[in-house]
Structure 1
């Protein structure tokens, strides 16, 4: 009798264990698995990123990351002096004056070839020193005037010869020195520099181009200083966004010698490029 009781209890335990094992391995098709959903939003601006992550309990978590963080990039460049080439390409204008012919911006090119040195004084500050040569070109809207240097000053008479004027301009070249303190973001994606420059004139001329009665192109040159000032000085600003750099120069002195030309101050603006080691 005891043996039958033992066998019954053993069979009952065995069947109960199998049922529990089966219940653990069998999924109820009406009860789906639990899934945790999250949402991510990442905003990247100038090398820095802000990541917003929504957790399963509905909260948003903000993570900030700078691509330069943890690197010794700026530590290596601190107090480092670098040199290279920089070039300006832009246009020249002057504010309209009653005695001055109107300047045509397209064709009034401002070109500069420079040797630059940059002294980094910290992560967010540097000083750029530039020495080079620039060319002022002022192309006139009225292509039928002839820039003429006379003992009494610069004049712009109408062309009276046989033919039609196609180009009228004056130009001057300067050797310049510029100093530009600059502040910048840590990742160098935004830069702002404001400084000053001074230059000495090394060349100048007037030019008039016309088509004669036969349709042939003729050129007249006035190889002189055209009463342009020997010295120039002014303010310069540079704005850098990413890999693009804009500049503007504003002459504080008048372009022409006193009482010998129009009372105008030159303004130049455009894009500057760098090849700095």
Structure 2
């Protein structure tokens, strides 16, 4: 086969070297040259002009055939264990060994043997440059007209391309948006203990998370970094309110007869997460399982209380900004667990919500659903 390829290439280059007036113009934007080999394999060369024909010897097609042997063995091994009848495997020799005039892309489509096989013939597609390709059909079909790809072939090619993109994409930055609830934990018993309204104590987090792959191009392990902005609401149950007096923050019952609709303490925090995340993909190249764990550090940007009540036919909203003796620097543990498009998160503050001796002793636990982002 090596001798036949060399002979065919020589004939093609000689044809390209003839004067331009001897060439028969074709209306199509590309020229197709079909070489039928003795073993009934068909090699099709797709070029755009004579100049590309003259460049073919630069790619050493005889050594290319030898290189294809290893790729075909890997593609056949993958096809035997694939769940579909057809499988397309994509290789990028020029990326793996740059500067050696290797093909940009080699795409091998194989099918399982047997009476149930369907779709187009087994084929090898070699992309030497973006506009120059070689197609070799290997199933013995000598018809020079390619058959239309079946649905299974299209799906296999899509999955192969998706897998190749995942392997070569070592890092990414994604917008994340988390929505959840807050709870106060590790509180001692007794009077003055804050009781939060569950659905009113909301947690919102928005930011940009950068993912950096650790290890080789098939490694599922990533390092996750921020920045993020978190907003925590702590809404009290009943007719209680947050009070800041004499350097102390506490919870007090309203005694004036005013009935509160909302009494909450809110904070805004700049945080930087640092996590290790395991991202596993299914056979179609989609992320199937995400499992991440790590920590975070942050700084409180602002805090305020908000009272909402109805009095004499009018609704009032009183907002008061202040530190409320809240801890400025915050740190803790966090984790994510996701399956396909559904991801849950949890964050646990190791620091107390208030400074020691200046407010109720409690730590924050936030949990919920990641609306979008990895």
146-155 or 95-104: bigger deviation: 95-104
Aligned mate of 2:354, from 216, 232, 256: 256
**Equivalences for residues 159-170 of structure 1 within 5 A:** 159-170=254-265
Per the alignment, residue 132 of structure 1 pairs with: 228
Secondary structure of 1:76's counterpart equals helix
TM-score normalized with structure 1 length: 0.70
Q: Is the 8 A contact 1:175 1:200 kept in 2?
A: yes
Are the structure 2 counterparts of residues 165 and 77 from structure 1 closer, same or farther at C-alpha, using a change threshold of 3 Å?
A: same
**Equivalences for residues 138-149 of structure 1 within 5 A:** 138-142=234-238, 144-149=239-244
Asked which structure has the greater RCO (Cα within 8 Å, sep 6+), the reply is 1
Aligned mate of 1:119, from 172, 192, 212: 212
Secondary structure of 1:182's counterpart equals strand
Per the alignment, residue 36 of structure 2 pairs with: none
In structure 2, how many angstroms separate the alpha carbons of the residues matched to 1:73 and 1:233? 38
Q: How many residues align?
A: 213
Q: Is the 8 A contact 2:250 2:360 kept in 1?
A: no
Cα deviation, 1:143-170, whole Å, max 9, x if unaligned, reads x222111123102222233531211110
What is the deviation of 1:272?
1.1
**Equivalences for residues 40-189 of structure 1 within 5 A:** 71=160, 73-78=162-167, 80-95=170-185, 96-98=187-189, 99-121=192-214, 122-142=218-238, 144-187=239-282, 188-189=287-288
Q: Is the 8 A contact 1:184 1:192 kept in 2?
A: yes
What is the deviation of 1:127?
1.7
Larger CA Rg, structure 1 vs 2? 1
Name whichever structure is richer in strand by fraction. 1
Instruction: Structure 2: give runs of 5+ residues left out of the alignment.
Output: 1-81, 85-155
TM-score normalized with structure 2 length: 0.53
Q: Is the 8 A contact 2:296 2:334 kept in 1?
A: yes
Aligned mate of 1:202, from 301, 304, 311: 301
In structure 1, how many angstroms separate the alpha carbons of the residues matched to 2:370 and 2:332? 17
Name whichever structure is richer in helix by fraction. 2
Runs of 4 or more above 6 Å deviation: 67-70
Q: Is the 8 A contact 1:83 1:115 kept in 2?
A: yes
Secondary structure of 1:260's counterpart equals coil
Per the alignment, residue 38 of structure 1 pairs with: none
RMSD value over aligned CA atoms? 2.5
In structure 2, how many angstroms separate the alpha carbons of the residues matched to 1:91 and 1:204? 18
